Amino acid sequence: MKDLTTNWDYARLIEEEKDHYSKIEVTNELTEGGRHANSAWKHYWTRVAEELHTSAFTDIPGNLDRQYNRHNRPVRILSLGSGYCGHELALAQKLTCAYEITCTDINESLFTEARKRAQADSLCLRFQLQDLNFIRIAPAYYDMIFAHAVLHHVINLETLFEQMAQGLTPDGILNLVEVIGKNGRLLWEENERFANLILDALPYDLTGGAKLHVSETEGMEGVRQEEILPILRQRFEPLYEYTHGAFMRYVCTDERFDRHLNPEDELGRRYLDLLIDIDRSTVRNSILRPLEIWGVYRPRAEKLNPSLKPV
């Protein structure tokens, strides 16, 4: 497949990525901090988890434990763009079977704290320096490939999806947690207008009259995120898929709203849940396009390309 990175000043983009993620705030759980650790955003994901728990496919640790019983060998997991590896450490602590988790990222310095914790807790994590635009995955090797909020930074999406599909074992799964909105912006203009109409109807004490105004992103942030879902559909079929979040990401991560829409406060929680319910309804009824996806997938066998080999 064609290398699309040649259309960009790729070396500069990579350095910008490394610099950005080396400087941002990180939580004690080794996940992205700052506005992404706001109480309202955590509450939103608690509500999402309630929806996810209605399906057996979302019990990732349980499903991987059952994989071990079928294969009688360590379960092999590949994490793409692992960053600080908080999600991978949490998964390792939940597994009861033997496992091997391979964490990958283009910025090896992000692994430092996770290496220490994995060693201290005797967790079987390995760390590899990898560029997802050029990664080659061993064929039929992994029982699960995990991609958490990383594909929207990838330019060579077609090649990466092919590599993921051929890298899974016959009963292997892809667990995808991703944003799928407008390229270089994420929030669609119609979603922003709708959200601002709703915010305008809330008591002034909760909003201070503030409105959403989302700017264009820079670098590889959201570079081809509109195309993630169509390319995913071509190469994978869903075992479980949940699309959500028409605008709540921007409400919950905005400090102007977070301090008033506090889930610890009865009134704040009531309005926060109201906004989440409205947001959920707009996606469910196809009024607005979703920005987020959580899914479990298996490859479509007829779409595998045997010419793509690992190096």
What tens digit of pLDDT does each residue of 26-72 get? 999 999 999 999 999 999 999 999 999 988 899 999 999 988 888 88
Residue 258 has what pLDDT?
Answer: 84
pTM: 0.93
Task: Give yes or no for residue 155 having a pLDDT over 50.
Answer: yes
Mean pLDDT of 213-223: 93
pLDDT-based confidence at residue 310 (cuts at 50, 70, 90)? very low
Nearest to 19 by CA among 220, 157, 167, 273: 220
Q: How many CA atoms lie within 13 A of 160 on its CB side?
A: 28
pLDDT digits (tens, 9 = 90+) for 279-299: 999 999 999 999 999 999 999
Residue 311 has what pLDDT?
Answer: 34
Residue 240 has what pLDDT?
Answer: 97
The residues facing 147 across adjacent strands are: 80, 176
For the record, the structure tokens of 63 come out as 């499903």
Task: Give yes or no for residue 173 having a pLDDT over 70.
Answer: yes
The overall longest dimension of the chain from CA atoms, in Å, is 60
Using CA atoms, how far residue 208 sits from 37, 197, 220, 258, 266, in Å, is 22, 14, 33, 12, 19
| Pairing of β 99-105 and β 142-148 | unpaired
Mean pLDDT of 158-164: 98
H-type alpha helices, the chain = 10-23, 39-52, 60-71, 86-94, 112-120, 157-167, 189-201, 204-207, 228-235, 248-252, 255-258, 266-284
Percent of residues, the chain, with pLDDT higher than 90: 89
The answer to whether 154 touches 3, Cβ cutoff 8 Å, is: no
Lowest mean pLDDT, pick from 29-33, 211-215, 304-308:
304-308
Residue 307 has what pLDDT?
Answer: 45
- Please provide residue 7's backbone torsions phi and psi, each rounded to the nearest 5 degrees: -85, 0
Mean pLDDT of 110-139: 98
pLDDT-based confidence at residue 306 (cuts at 50, 70, 90)? very low
Percent of residues, the chain, with pLDDT higher than 70: 97
Residue 302 has what pLDDT?
Answer: 66
The answer to whether 295 touches 176, Cβ cutoff 8 Å, is: yes
pLDDT digits (tens, 9 = 90+) for 234-266: 999 999 999 999 999 999 999 999 889 999 999
Expressed in angstroms, the distance from the first to the final Cα of the chain is 15
Mean pLDDT of 148-159: 98
User: Domain ranges in the chain?
Assistant: 4-182+220-246+290-300
For the record, the structure tokens of 80 come out as 């793409």
The CATH superfamily assigned to 4-182+220-246+290-300 is Vaccinia Virus protein VP39 (3.40.50.150)
| Pairing of β 292-299 and β 168-179 | antiparallel
Nearest to 96 by CA among 60, 47, 44, 50: 60
Q: How many CA atoms lie within 13 A of 43 on its CB side?
A: 23
Q: What is the mean pLDDT of the chain?
A: 94
The answer to whether 146 touches 175, Cβ cutoff 8 Å, is: yes
Q: Is 72 left (phi over 0), alpha (psi -120 to 50) or beta?
A: left
